[in-house]
Structures are given as C-alpha cells and as structure tokens.
Amino acid sequence: MSRPSALAPFRHKAFRTLWAATLVSNFGGLVQAVGAAWMMTQLTDSATLVALVQASNTLPIMLFALLSGALADIFERKRLLLIALGVMASVSLFLAVVATYGWLDPYSLLALTFLIGLGQALYNPPWQASMGDLVPRADLPAAVTLNSVGFNLMRSVGPAAGGLIVAAYGAAAAFAVNAFSYVPLLFALIRWKPPARVRIAPPEPLAPAIAAGLRYVALSPNLMRVLARGALFGFSAVAILALLPLIATEHPEGGSLTLGLLLGCYGLGAILGAASNSRIRERMNNENVVRVAFMGFAISCLLISTTDNVYLQGLALLPAGASWVLALSLFNVTVQLSTPRWVVARALALYQTATFGGMAAGSFLWGMLADAQGVDAALAWAAGLLIFGAVIGHWFSQPEFGKLDLDPAGQFRKPQLALDLRGRSGPIVVMVDYLIDPEDTPEFLRLMARRRAIRRRNGARNWALLRDLENPRVWSESYHLATWDDYVRHNLRRTKSDHEVIVAMRALHRGKGDPRVHRMIERHSINPGDPPLLGKIEVPGS
C-alpha cells in the first residue's frame, strides 16, 4: 500500500481553513514573544528574569494542560478552543495597552505572559485532539507534521518581523499585532462544524476524568517512555531559546532585530527539519530519529558556546530548529497513534505537561547558570545533557508508531437489569467464568495478563483471577467499578484491538456458549427492614 502524501490533510476543507488561520495566529504569537523577550532585557539585566520570560510561557502548560485535556475529552472541544482564544486575545490587548503607557515592570510582564501561556495551555490539548476530527487516521501523522511546518514557517519570518516592529514602533506594537492575529482563527473556529460526539453514558466528572487520564498513561509503558524523553529534551533543549536574548545583546550591533534574525534562523532550520521529516522517518526507526534530534541540538549548543560570530551562530541555529521539529513532532504523533480517542486529549496533555514542564524548569536553571557561570558555560552544560539524552535511548528506546487498531470496538450493549439502578449506583462487581482445559492454561494466562492491563487502563479496580479448588478447570475473573456509569464507560472504552483478546479467550472457553458474566452490586450493611438491594444478573457475553 502506498504511503499517504505529506499534503493529504489539505484535501479536507476544515483542516485547510484552520491551518491557514493558525498561521496568522502563530505569526502574532512569535512577534509577541520577541517583544516580551526584548522588553525584559530593557527592564532588567538579570539573566534569570530574561530566561523566565520563556518559562512564563511554558509553565502554565505544565500546570494546566491536564485539566484542559480532561475538559477536552468530556466537553465540546470547539467551545473550549473559543474560550482559550478569547483569553489570549484579551490578555494580549491589555498587555499592549499597559506597555503603551509605560506601566510594565519585570514582574507584571512575567504575570501577563503567564496568562497568555495559560490560554495556550487551555488551547493546545483540545486543538491537538481535534486532529482526529479534521482528518482520517491515515492522514494523522501528516496533519501533525503540517502543524509543525505551519508554526515553523512563521518562526522563520515572525521573529524577524517582530524585531523590525519592536525596533520601529516598540514592544507595545508587537503585543497589539498578537492581539489582532487571533481574529481570523476565531472566525474559522466559529464556522467549523465538528462531527457530533454521540454519548451513550453521561460525561465523566472532572476529577475522575483526570484520574483516568493519569491511570491510562501510567499503565502504558510506551507512553511513559515518550513522556520521559520529551521532558528531558524540553529541559535541555530550551537552553537556546531561553538564552538567545542574552546572546543577541552580547553583539555590538545587538538589538531586537538581531534577536529576530537569530530566531528566524532557528525557524528556517525547523522548516528544513519538517520538510525532511517523512523521508528521515522512512529511513530510520523512531529511536534513531530521537537520537539524531538530541545530538543535533547538542552540536548547536556547543557551536554557539564556542563562537562570538553572529553569522556562525545563525548557521548553528539551523540544526537546532531541525532537531526541535524532528523530536517533538515524533513524540506527538507517537502519543496520538498509541492512544484511543476517549483519552487522547488527556494523553496529549500529559505529554505537553512533561515536555513544557521540562522547558519551564530548564529555562529557570539555565538562566541561573548563565548568571553564575556565563551563557557559554550554560550552553555547554545543556549540550552534555543532550548527549546523555541520546545515549540513554540504548536502554529506554522510543516505541514505534502504534500499529494496534484503537477505534472503538462497538460491541457493548447495555444488559437488561432486574434491579432499578441509577447511573451513580454502586459499587459494581463483575465476575466472568471460564472453563479452560489444562493444556490451554499457559495460553489462557498469557491472554489474561493482557486482559488485566486492558481492564486496569480502562478503569477497573481490585482486579483478580480466581481458580476453583474443587474444579481446577473453572477460572473466574473479578473486578470492581465505582458506579454503574463507570461500568458502562469501562465497556465503551474497549477498542478493536482489545476485542481481539476477548475473541481469543472465548476460543479457549470449553463451556456451553460464551463465558458467563455476573454483574452485581455490593451492599455493605444489611437492615432487615430494607428491601434487598443486593442483586445478581447473569447474562452471556462480556
């Protein structure tokens, strides 16, 4: 089968429209970033505070992305996107006003950029999760890459334009440009008609939804590897972005335009990386792509730390930009293709929490190190950490893109109950009985281990496998769920890949028909005057 075209997502009108509008928004955000970074260098000579401008943009993503991811999996994503854009546009406009009147100090600048970062934290998970609503699964890797291409197209021109705007009109003008850059995206989102999300069960409450996302990722070893390497990459690679304003000011001709041009070189490298992304992935497995990204960024850090020539520093930023896109787009696609749709926004949010949390911590650390030992020493230490990040892949390699079918199985049908249950009724106990021949026991236990992992990821608690002492051929799988709604959601989360395990286990069952399922509700106290609430319903199927 031929590989889908890298431009295949553009066949879909909604993707085209939103992608184009996002270009404008990205341009404004990059102009604003140059304005904020340069204004901080005018307000203070502290390397720590200058580096914290980068941290103020990334820290909110670490703190609030999971909350946004849970909301995106529960509620309408389009509404969340519009709210987040409204927050960012309003704060950007306010920032332009206070900058115009000279009311900014270092801490108010950090506070307002933090609020813009908060809007971005609310926007990113529902936007990334919406890729599956904009394009079919086969086009998802190309859509994620095109998002990176779009951002980095603007990164190649936005910072340079930002430098020119700041040099000519001041930082307030850069903030105003950002405020108005959200307008096309707001209109595009208002006109977008996402597919309706059909719900059989009511939305999951917020706190359990957050816990479900944490549980799913924690019980998914492949996702945990992506998060760990993403955090390490963000922590070490952010050194260049955090310290670049200081590098620009070290040049005699240094100014906002120099900073913008250096950032433009970084963006140009990112475009080159995005353009070669698909070919590199064809020739290398995921782990080797990640190692190349770590090493490429390390080389950039070392080159910048060992030269004072602005032209050589610009050239050194090219592999840094390319490595940034190679690593982060691969991490993003791996998470999307390794996660079912019911939890994809939360998984992406946790990935962003890890990566941007690393960036926030790294910005602070590299700024302090630059204050203590100088910018060159900080970049050299970052290079050493990046080399370490490449080496540990020998033991913690990145998984290949998920090849499992994670579409909903669609096999569950609510059973007809003899008790009048409400959605909040519970706890619910489920037991499934199997009759297994002795020679099939090893294969049964192997499948049951996979079954246990699936059950726990999908919300089951207190899972156990029981064997009858009097009839060893009889096995019973047991697990608990807090409420009847949780039981329904647990079954709706089953994917086609999960269902393959069920089919294989049924093939080993030697009883009549399918394995017997007992669905029961617990009663922890008995009052003789109460009607009996402990019920037991036995129906075939699981």
**How far is Cα 175 from Cα 197, in angstroms, rounded to an integer?**
37
For the chain, percent of residues with pLDDT exceeding 90:
42
Decide if pLDDT at 321 tops 80. yes
Is the CB of residue 464 less than 8 Å from the CB of residue 506? Answer: no
Q: Which residues are within 8 A (CB) of 163 and not within 5 positions of it... i.e. 6 or more apart? A: 34, 38, 255, 256, 257, 258, 259, 260, 261, 263
**Given this model, what pLDDT does residue 540 score?**
41
**How far is Cα 220 from Cα 354, in angstroms, rounded to an integer?**
15
Q: Which residues are within 8 A (CB) of 256 and not within 5 positions of it... i.e. 6 or more apart? A: 34, 38, 162, 163, 166, 167
**Given this model, what pLDDT does residue 388 score?**
95
Residue 383 backbone class (left: φ over 0; alpha: ψ -120 to 50; beta: rest): alpha
Range among 196-205, 331-340, 451-460, 526-535 rated most confident: 451-460
**How far is Cα 504 from Cα 253, in angstroms, rounded to an integer?**
70
Report pLDDT digits (tens) over 209-243. 999 999 999 999 889 999 999 999 999 999 998 88
Percentages (nearest 5) of helix, strand, coil residues in the chain? 70, 5, 25
Is the CB of residue 171 less than 8 Å from the CB of residue 162? Answer: no
Is the CB of residue 92 less than 8 Å from the CB of residue 33? Answer: no
Is the CB of residue 515 less than 8 Å from the CB of residue 451? Answer: no
Residue 527 pLDDT class (50, 70, 90 cuts): low
Report pLDDT digits (tens) over 95-141. 999 999 888 899 999 999 999 989 988 998 889 888 878 888 778 77
Is the CB of residue 331 less than 8 Å from the CB of residue 229? Answer: yes
- Order of all β-strands in the sheet with 428-435: 461-467, 474-481, 428-435, 516-521, 536-540
Q: Report the candidate in 23, 44, 315, 33 with the shortest Cα–Cα distance to residue 165.
A: 33
**Given this model, what pLDDT does residue 536 score?**
43
Is the CB of residue 356 less than 8 Å from the CB of residue 278? Answer: no
**How far is Cα 296 from Cα 299, in angstroms, rounded to an integer?**
5
The two beta strands, 474-481 and 461-467, are antiparallel
Decide if pLDDT at 326 tops 70. yes
* Average pLDDT, rounded, for the chain: 86
**Residue 446 to residues 216, 306, 443, 506, Cα–Cα distance (Å):** 21, 55, 5, 14
Residue 454 pLDDT class (50, 70, 90 cuts): very high
Q: Is the pTM of this model over 0.75?
A: yes
Decide if pLDDT at 182 tops 90. yes
- Phi then psi for residue 102, to 5 deg, are 70, 30
Angle between helices 221-249 and 375-391 (to 10 degrees): 160
Helices (H), 170-285: 171-181, 183-191, 206-218, 221-249, 256-275, 277-283
Q: How many CB atoms lie within 10 A of CB 217?
A: 24
Query: Residue 360: what residue type?
Result: A
Report pLDDT digits (tens) over 383-441. 999 999 999 988 888 887 666 778 778 888 888 888 888 888 889 999 999 999 999 99
3 state SS of 101: coil
Q: Report the candidate in 389, 79, 429 with the shortest Cα–Cα distance to residue 233.
A: 389
3 state SS of 493: coil
Token couple for 526: 């008995």
**Given this model, what pLDDT does residue 534 score?**
41
